[in-house]
């Protein structure tokens, strides 16, 4: 006969406690879930009814995407991000700003690393004083950081590096310039192996991306990718690519040139001036002219008394820029330092009229229709 | 000789001859014209060649996108800059101030036969003087925030920017895909022996087969003036672009439909020139009351419609139409939405509030125990199924069609929202979306008809059934006693439920197989499908509707269709989804419409009477313990 089991002692066992805690947590969770549902259902229902009533009583408004044509050529257009000022993205051919007329499918890319323009002090087109050169100077803002011309530097030629417009980090020379170098290395008539051809195609494709998906560069890259280096079509396609690259040299590189510090980093602002910039922005508008001078001096501790001028760079000898060291191929250096350009700049700098030299008015060779027989 | 003449006079041969002559003229043309003849892009290709004038606040762009010229993107790509801009001020750097560009200036262009010809847009200026947009009118425009153009700029810029070639829609995909290879064949000879830029000439001609601007782009252009508040006030103009974009056509345009009517479809007579657009009061205007019906009935729009189609209000401005039938109808639907959706939503919110405060009717636990007993009975589980297999299949067909109809229909209602366009594109464009919507609607109507026939079959069977006392149900009784019929008892119980939920009563009413809310939902589906089906067919077969009812019916049908579908959407999207997915008693999903088994807690809370009836039929005791 089995012994009777001892009676269970009254009191809470750990398992009971756990069960109780689990049950309480479940109940709490259930209540919280119910409350969240109340909020959600009330909000959605209210929004739905509000929409109905507002759509009946509120005056008609033209939808934003139709009003989005950039109608004025004003400061807002200058600061707006690309999709905004280009107007309606869903439309195949968004029209240009009203007063501009020409197509504007791409424009100045934003420089997210340039403190001078990001701080709210200077715009992306900062030069506005000298009527003769202001547009020309702004032209350089797409590919050269302000500091190259406006900040003190001990060495001549200047110590330079390229930097990525998005990240501000030091970068290699622009892929477009590297593509041009490679194209020249192929000689005339062009000769290359398939490795060089593939490298060239890749460089052109990346250059097209950097230049806002430039169609001509993309097409050249595609042609080079499609043809073998040993085929008869190859020299013609290389020559075409040279033409395309030459006409695409317009500063849309995806990288910009800046001064280089001792550690090899690009100098994108006057060092240690963040507080001074903030102070200037805060106090500048109410400051007296003297105070304003002092504030500005604190913002620009390394400012050159006189900025580098155009002829300091666009000269064959003794220039402050070592373009070759910066990655420019010889043909491009020759274009930038041609005496005609130097003379033009000198004339303009003196305020004299400069009549177009032959080099400028001579048209480029008419390019063959871009749909050539497909290589077979 | 006579024989030759006879042969030539045969129409087909004559046509062939003309075609060959035309092609010969086209192909024996001049060499490709040099791009950028003055090499202006040497400087102007740089995007930064621009400046901002802080004094005037004006941005001056001297940049010209070289792609337009290098890629020959439009008819002006082969013009020299000095064809439009005076040459003399440009010969020195920096350029001297040059006179404004005059679009009516005569220039010399090289035609396809290689001859230099004088060309001017002066005829367009003459046309404009006969239109509603005369130079004096354009000169006098006053915009919100100041002028849009400089004083000396051409007023053509209000509507025009640099023209682009665009492939006609009908040819877009075939020519777009083949053009490289096709032009390459032409270039074998024409790039060398008979130099001609075949692609430029072809694209120039082809681009004129369609209007220069896309539908929505045109609305953008018109909106520059017609949506400007100051200008509208001065000229006492309604916001026509906004009302167009709220219309059926405008919404389709917002969603990328290139075949829908744009501003010019109605405001320019068929075959007339856009620069000759006339005011509505002018007898020759395309929108004059006498002519507007014919504008609607043009071959490309609604060719078989009745003249009465003109009775529709294309620019219906509901908020501005207080007192109209359309406004009253819309207001009535909003009221209906509030009255039908409001109480259902209130019940759901109050049910949730019971959970939050921890209130539960004591009977629920007892009913759950009864359910457990029923389920343990061999026939119990089957008896507790509230939906037959046929009903479940019908439910899922309806659910699939409803979802498809909502996904393909609501982008049109919210056409100005980004997601709407994305959704339409995902369906393959407006044509595919519309087609799917139409045929899903047809399927819904067919399904609805089948369901109604099924109900008739059930009702008929009930009227034929002989009761224990030899009595038969009348037709009214057979319908009124259907499980889904709404009766006075349901209304009373719904009231009692509301009283219980707000705490005015402690006795929760017991519902049978279907709760009052479910019955109202079912009634809503029946009513909604009928309304949406009828109005949908009216809008789809617009030409027949114009003959049967006239143009006024389109606005009415549109209002009913959109407001009723919105009501259905919020009912299903909020309340039904709550009831079958989100409600704590069924979460994460009620299987009632999959395997027919309603969750125990939901049955106990909502269908107690049904459970008790099933228990009685199985001989299971259901005595409720006394609770006080």
**Across the interface, do A66 and B582 touch by the CB < 8 Å criterion?**
no
Task: Specify if A145 maps to a domain.
Answer: yes
Task: Specify if A140 maps to a domain.
Answer: yes
Q: Could you list the residue range(s) of the whole structural domain that residue A329 is in? A: 109-163+270-361
Assess contact for B255 and B424: CB atoms under 8 A.
Answer: yes
Nearest by CB to A101, from B60, B161, B183: name it.
Answer: B161
Residues A143 and A278 in one domain: yes
Structure tokens of A44? Answer: 């959605």
Model confidence band, residue A371 (pLDDT cutoffs 50, 70, 90): very low
Cα torsion through B88, B103, A125, A293, rounded to 10: 80
**Across the interface, do A41 and B241 touch by the CB < 8 Å criterion?**
no
Q: What is the pLDDT of residue B59?
A: 82
Q: What is the pLDDT of residue A17?
A: 87
Which B residues, 131 through 190, put their C-beta within 8 Å of a C-beta on chain A?
Answer: 143, 145, 148-150, 153, 157-158, 160-162, 164, 166, 179-181, 183-185, 187-188
Alpha-carbon distance of B286 to B296, in angstroms, equals: 9
Q: What is the pLDDT of residue B585?
A: 83
Residues A149 and A283 in one domain: yes
Q: Could you list the residue range(s) of the whole structural domain that residue B230 is in? A: 216-320
- What distance in Å separates residue A228's CA from the closest CA in chain B? 19
pLDDT at A277 over 80: yes
Domain count of the fold of chain A: 3
Nearest by CB to A73, from B59, B164, B320: name it.
Answer: B59
Task: Specify if B619 maps to a domain.
Answer: no
Residues A316 and A275 in one domain: yes
- Average confidence score pLDDT of chain B: 86
Point out which residues pair with A163 in neighbouring strands: A170, A256
Alpha-carbon distance of B320 to B327, in angstroms, equals: 9
- What distance in Å separates residue B574's CA from the closest CA in chain A? 7
Alpha-carbon distance of B6 to B493, in angstroms, equals: 93
Q: Say which residues have a Cβ less than 8 Å from residue B71's Cβ, sequence separation at least 6.
A: A215, A216, A370, B77
Task: Specify if B588 maps to a domain.
Answer: no
Residue B202, chain A, CB below 8 Å: the answer is no
Residues A80 and A217 in one domain: no
Q: What is the pLDDT of residue B188?
A: 77
Mean pLDDT along residues B524-537: 96
Q: Bigger pLDDT: B20 or B283?
A: B283
Residues A288 and A346 in one domain: yes
Note the pLDDT tens digit of each residue in A196-223.
Answer: 999 999 999 999 999 888 889 999 999 9
Model confidence band, residue B531 (pLDDT cutoffs 50, 70, 90): very high
Residues A130 and A93 in one domain: no
**Phi and psi (nearest 5°) for B29?**
-90, -165
Mean pLDDT along residues B507-526: 90
Assess contact for A160 and A326: CB atoms under 8 A.
Answer: yes
> Distance of CA A11 to CAs A5, A14, A19, A21, Å?
18, 10, 14, 16
CATH number where B351 lies: 1.20.950.20
Task: Specify if B484 maps to a domain.
Answer: yes
Task: Specify if B624 maps to a domain.
Answer: no
Q: Output the CA angle A81-A82-A86, nearest 5 degrees.
A: 125
Interface ipTM above 0.90: no
Note the pLDDT tens digit of each residue in A26-48.
Answer: 999 999 999 999 999 999 999 99
Q: Last residue of a domain, which of B583, B598, B613?
A: B583
Residues A283 and A343 in one domain: yes
Alpha helices (H) along B509-617: 516-540, 542-548, 552-570, 577, 600-606, 608-617
Q: Last residue of a domain, which of B300, B320, B340?
A: B320
Q: Say which residues have a Cβ less than 8 Å from residue B389's Cβ, sequence separation at least 6.
A: B596
Neighbours of B271 (CB within 10 A): 6
Assess contact for B575 and B345: CB atoms under 8 A.
Answer: yes
Neighbours of B47 (CB within 10 A): 25
Alpha-carbon distance of A117 to A108, in angstroms, equals: 13
Residues B161 and B270 in one domain: no
pLDDT at B333 over 90: yes
Note the pLDDT tens digit of each residue in B227-268.
Answer: 999 999 999 999 999 999 999 999 999 998 988 999 999 999
Residues B484 and B458 in one domain: yes
Q: What is the pLDDT of residue A133?
A: 85
Residues A224 and A157 in one domain: no
Task: Specify if B577 maps to a domain.
Answer: yes
Residues B291 and B354 in one domain: no
Q: What is the pLDDT of residue A4?
A: 60
Task: Specify if A47 maps to a domain.
Answer: no
**Phi and psi (nearest 5°) for B479?**
-75, -45
Q: What is the pLDDT of residue B173?
A: 65
Assess contact for B275 and B516: CB atoms under 8 A.
Answer: no
- What distance in Å separates residue B204's CA from the closest CA in chain A? 15
Task: Specify if A185 maps to a domain.
Answer: yes
Nearest by CB to A135, from B62, B245, B358: name it.
Answer: B62
Residues B306 and B348 in one domain: no
Alpha-carbon distance of B540 to B526, in angstroms, equals: 21
pLDDT at A130 over 90: no
Structure tokens of B6? Answer: 């006879």
Residues B105 and B193 in one domain: yes
Alpha-carbon distance of A149 to A135, in angstroms, equals: 16
- Average confidence score pLDDT of chain A: 83
Domain count of the fold of chain B: 3
Taking contacts as CB-CB distances below 8 angstroms, the residues of chain A near B75 are: none
Q: Say which residues have a Cβ less than 8 Å from residue B553's Cβ, sequence separation at least 6.
A: B312, B538, B545, B546
Nearest by CB to A38, from B101, B245, B349: name it.
Answer: B349
Note the pLDDT tens digit of each residue in A229-248.
Answer: 888 889 999 999 999 999 89
pLDDT at A85 over 70: no
Task: Specify if B595 maps to a domain.
Answer: no
pLDDT at A9 over 50: yes
Alpha-carbon distance of A175 to A203, in angstroms, equals: 6
Residues B306 and B343 in one domain: no
Task: Specify if A93 maps to a domain.
Answer: yes
How far from chain centre, in Å, is Cα A331? 26
E strand or H helix that includes residue A257: strand A255-259
Residues A304 and A357 in one domain: yes
Please give the share of chain B, as a percent, with pLDDT higher than 70.
91
Residues B239 and B186 in one domain: no
Residues B407 and B519 in one domain: yes
Strand segments (E) across B361-468: none
Residue B93, chain A, CB below 8 Å: the answer is yes
Assess contact for B316 and B246: CB atoms under 8 A.
Answer: yes
Q: Bigger pLDDT: B455 or A365?
A: B455
How far from chain centre, in Å, is Cα B207? 27
Residues A99 and A114 in one domain: no
**Across the interface, do B352 and A102 touch by the CB < 8 Å criterion?**
no
Residues B202 and B230 in one domain: no
**Helix B418-426 vs helix B389-413: angle between axes, to the nearest 10 degrees?**
120
Model confidence band, residue A366 (pLDDT cutoffs 50, 70, 90): very low
Cα torsion through A285, A286, A291, A294, rounded to 10: -30
- From A168, A226, A231, select the one nearest A200 (Cα to Cα): A226
Residues B48 and B105 in one domain: yes
**Across the interface, do B345 and A104 touch by the CB < 8 Å criterion?**
no
Residues A133 and A278 in one domain: yes
Residues B275 and B229 in one domain: yes
Alpha-carbon distance of B368 to B600, in angstroms, equals: 6
Alpha-carbon distance of B112 to B33, in angstroms, equals: 11
Task: Specify if B608 maps to a domain.
Answer: no
Residues A302 and A350 in one domain: yes
With 0-12 CB in 10 A as exposed, 13-18 as middle and 19+ as buried, what is A81?
exposed
Task: Specify if A281 maps to a domain.
Answer: yes
Q: Which of A47, A127, A369 to mutate to test the interface with B (most CBs of B within 10 A)?
A: A369
Task: Specify if A120 maps to a domain.
Answer: yes
Q: What is the pLDDT of residue A357?
A: 55
Alpha-carbon distance of A23 to B588, in angstroms, equals: 19
Structure tokens of A325? Answer: 């060291």
């Amino acid at each position: 006969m089995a012994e009777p089991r001892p009676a269970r002692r009254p009191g809470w066992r750990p398992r009971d406690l756990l069960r109780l805690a689990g049950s309480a947590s479940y109940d709490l969770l259930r209540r919280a879930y119910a409350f969240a549902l109340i909020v959600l259902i009330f909000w959605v229902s209210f929004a739905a009814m509000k929409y109905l009533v507002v759509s009946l009583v509120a005056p008609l408004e033209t939808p934003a995407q139709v009003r989005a044509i950039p109608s004025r050529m004003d400061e807002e257009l200058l600061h707006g991000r690309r999709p905004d000022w280009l107007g309606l993205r869903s439309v195949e051919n968004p029209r240009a700003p009203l007063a501009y007329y020409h197509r504007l499918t791409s424009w100045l890319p934003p420089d997210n690393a340039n403190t001078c323009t990001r701080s709210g002090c200077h715009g992306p087109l900062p030069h506005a004083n000298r009527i003769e050169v202001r547009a020309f100077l702004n032209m350089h803002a797409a590919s050269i950081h302000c500091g190259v011309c406006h900040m003190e530097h001990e060495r001549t030629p200047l110590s330079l590096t390229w930097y990525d417009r998005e990240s501000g980090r030091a970068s290699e020379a622009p892929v477009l310039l590297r593509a041009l170098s490679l194209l020249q290395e192929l000689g005339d008539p062009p000769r290359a192996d398939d490795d060089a051809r593939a490298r060239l195609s890749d460089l052109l494709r990346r250059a097209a991306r950097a230049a806002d998906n430039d169609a001509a560069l993309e097409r050249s890259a595609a042609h080079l990718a499609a043809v073998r280096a040993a085929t008869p079509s190859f020299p013609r396609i290389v020559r075409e690519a040279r033409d395309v690259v030459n006409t695409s040299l317009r500063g849309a590189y995806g990288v910009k040139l800046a001064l280089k510090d001792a550690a090899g980093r690009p100098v994108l602002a006057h060092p240690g001036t963040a507080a001074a910039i903030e102070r200037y922005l805060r106090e500048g508008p109410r400051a007296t002219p003297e105070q304003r001078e002092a504030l500005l001096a604190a913002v620009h501790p390394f400012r050159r008394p006189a900025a580098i001028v155009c002829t300091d760079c666009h000269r064959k000898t003794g220039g402050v820029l070592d373009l070759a060291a910066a990655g420019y191929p010889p043909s491009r250096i020759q274009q930038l330092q041609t005496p005609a350009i130097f003379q033009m700049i000198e004339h303009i700098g003196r305020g004299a009229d400069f009549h177009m030299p032959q080099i400028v008015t001579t048209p480029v060779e008419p390019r063959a229709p871009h749909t050539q027989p497909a290589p077979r | 000789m006579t024989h030759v003449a006879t042969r030539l006079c045969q129409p087909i041969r004559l046509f062939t001859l003309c075609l060959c002559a035309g092609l010969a003229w086209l192909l024996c043309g001049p060499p490709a014209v040099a791009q950028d003849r003055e090499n202006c892009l040497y400087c102007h290709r740089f995007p930064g060649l621009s400046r901002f004038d802080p004094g005037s606040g004006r941005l001056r762009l001297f940049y010209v996108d070289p792609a337009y010229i290098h890629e020959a993107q439009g008819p002006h790509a082969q013009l020299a800059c000095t064809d439009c801009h005076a040459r003399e001020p440009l010969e020195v750097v920096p350029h001297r101030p040059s006179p404004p560009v005059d679009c009516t200036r005569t220039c010399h262009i090289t035609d396809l036969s290689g001859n230099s010809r004088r060309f001017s847009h002066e005829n367009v200026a003459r046309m404009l003087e006969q239109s509603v947009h005369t130079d004096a009118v354009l000169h006098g425009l006053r915009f919100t925030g100041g002028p849009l153009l400089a004083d000396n700029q051409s007023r053509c810029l209000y509507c025009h920017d640099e023209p682009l070639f665009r492939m006609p829609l009908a040819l877009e995909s075939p020519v777009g895909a083949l053009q490289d290879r096709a032009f390459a064949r032409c270039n074998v000879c024409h790039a060398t022996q008979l130099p001609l830029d075949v692609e430029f000439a072809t694209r120039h001609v082809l681009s004129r087969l369609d209007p220069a601007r896309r539908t929505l782009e045109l609305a953008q252009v018109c909106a520059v003036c017609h949506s400007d508040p100051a200008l509208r006030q001065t000229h006492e103009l309604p916001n026509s672009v906004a009302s167009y974009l709220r219309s059926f056509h405008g919404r389709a345009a917002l969603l990328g439909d290139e075949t829908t009517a744009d501003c010019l479809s109605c405001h320019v007579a068929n075959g007339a020139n856009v620069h000759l657009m006339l005011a509505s009061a002018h007898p020759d205007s395309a929108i004059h009351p006498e002519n507007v019906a014919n504008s609607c009935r043009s071959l490309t729009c609604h060719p078989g419609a009745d003249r009465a189609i003109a009775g529709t209000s294309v620019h219906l401005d509901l908020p501005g139409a207080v007192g109209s039938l359309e406004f009253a109808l819309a207001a009535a639907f909003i009221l209906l939405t509030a009255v039908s959706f409001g109480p259902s939503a209130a019940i759901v919110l109050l049910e949730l509030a019971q959970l939050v405060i921890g209130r539960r009717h004591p009977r629920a636990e007892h009913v759950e125990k009864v359910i457990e007993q029923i389920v343990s009975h061999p026939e119990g589980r089957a008896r507790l199924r509230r939906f037959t297999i046929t009903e479940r299949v019908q439910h899922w067909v309806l659910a699939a069609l409803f979802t498809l109809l909502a996904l393909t229909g609501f982008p049109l209602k919210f056409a100005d929202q980004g997601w709407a366009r994305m959704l339409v594109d995902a369906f393959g464009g407006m044509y595919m979306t519309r087609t799917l919507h139409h045929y899903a609607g047809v399927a819904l109507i067919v399904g609805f008809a089948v369901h109604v026939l099924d109900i008739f079959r059930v009702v008929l069977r009930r009227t034929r059934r002989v009761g224990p006392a030899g009595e038969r149900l009348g037709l009214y009784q057979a319908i009124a006693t259907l499980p889904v019929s709404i009766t006075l008892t349901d209304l009373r119980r719904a009231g009692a439920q509301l009283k219980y939920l707000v705490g005015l009563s402690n006795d929760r009413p017991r519902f049978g197989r279907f709760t009052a809310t479910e019955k109202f939902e079912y009634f809503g589906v029946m009513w909604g499908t009928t309304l949406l089906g009828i109005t949908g067919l009216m809008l789809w077969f617009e030409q027949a509707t114009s003959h049967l009812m006239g143009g006024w019916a389109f606005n009415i049908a549109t209002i009913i269709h959109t407001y009723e579908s919105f009501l259905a959407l919020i009912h299903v999207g909020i309340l039904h989804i709550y009831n079958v997915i989100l409600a704590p008693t069924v979460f994460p999903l009620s299987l009632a419409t999959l395997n027919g088994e309603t969750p125990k807690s939901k049955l106990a809370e909502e269908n107690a009477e049904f459970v008790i009836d099933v228990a009685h039929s199985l001989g299971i005791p259901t005595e409720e313990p006394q609770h006080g």
